[in-house]
Amino acid sequence: MAWKRFLSLILVVFIAGFLINPVAAVTSSTDPELPDSIEENKVVDFSLTITDIRGSCVLIETDLEKDGGTPIFDVTDLTGYTLGSDGKSLKICNNLPSKLVIPIHGRIPEGITRKTVLLPTGESLYLKFFDQGQKSYYRVKDLSGNTVIDTTSKSFTIIHPQLEDIMRIIDTNITDPNARGVAKKYISLGLIDYVYGDLIPIFVKYDPGRVANLEQRVSKLQSLTDELNSTIKDQSATLSSLEAENSRLKSQTSDLESKVSELQNENSDLKGQIEALTQERDEYRKSAGTFKTVSILLFVVLLAGSFFAYRTGRQSGYKEGYRKGYDEGKREGYNRGKRDGYEQCMEEMGRSEPSIGSGVL
């Protein structure tokens, strides 16, 4: 039991010591002190002092911009540090002193985003948005390896002179709260130039009908903005689809070019075959012409020979027939003449023969 009382005593002493001397957290301070709100693009110079570091590394980050070519962090007296690629972060490790003092030089961001929106009507709408969120002069992280033990920081908001001026005009010159609300809504939508040039003169005179109409226009503008964003997404998807289709068509074009090349080679071979066939046809026609000429000449010769043979045979027939007819006629005439002469002689001899008893000797 004695040892239990001893352990309880040690535990009480430990807890009491912890409560009397709590573990210190990392702290920071600047010289000079920095304002909570500061004008856009203003240059700031200050020294950052960091104490009560418990970890093995310290990471310092900032939302300040570079002022020309001057680095944000002055690391002249530091060792074992690493700068971020954008120059807006600094990490220091190993053998950290009990107090770090780092000079910082930077410029407050402008904090204005400008956009141009093309309306469905074809008109361009120029928008200007003012950053009114919290920014940091610095953010210090006490690190043990990659674990954040503690943090400390100093924040600021950006003062925009143009925004401050128009807000003052709205609050001073527009008495109707609804009209002021519409004007500020337009500013939140990025239409500060439109509020300057068109809305303020209207709202100063205030016409409730116009206010209601303007509220409708705000709603319509918001609807058009949503529609435009949707259209942009659709166009992006369509563009991706067209790029894929273009890639496919390029592949098809390459295949067609290869086929065209093959067809050209085949066409060249066909031309050679056609030329050979044409030459054979010409030779055939030439041979056919020669054959036709020879056939005609042979036909003429045969026709002439036939005619000559016919004529020669006819003449021979005529001569042979004439000769035979002449001989037969001569012979027939001779025989007939001989017979007729004999008969006539006999007749004459009969008339001259003396009759019996005439007394004439």
22 phi and psi, to 5 degrees?
-65, 155
What pLDDT is recorded for position 15? Answer: 46
Consecutive 10-residue averages of pLDDT for the chain (361 residues): 49 42 77 97 97 94 96 92 95 89 97 93 92 96 93 97 95 90 93 90 73 71 81 76 81 80 80 82 73 67 66 63 67 72 67 45 35
pLDDT at 212: 65
How far apart are alpha carbons 156 and 220 in whole angstroms?
35
Residues across the chain: 361
The confidence score (pLDDT) of residue 342 equals 66
Residues near 82 by Cβ (< 8 Å), separated by ≥ 6? 90, 91, 93
How far is the CA of 247 from the CAs of 48, 259, 265, in angstroms?
A: 56, 19, 27
Secondary structure letter of residue 73 according to DSSP: B
- Res 151: pLDDT: 96
What pLDDT, on a 0 to 100 scale, did the predictor assign at position 345? 62
pLDDT of residue 197: 87
Q: Phi and psi for 180 in degrees, rounded to 5? A: -60, -40
**Is the CATH code 3.40.1710 the one for domain 21-159?**
no
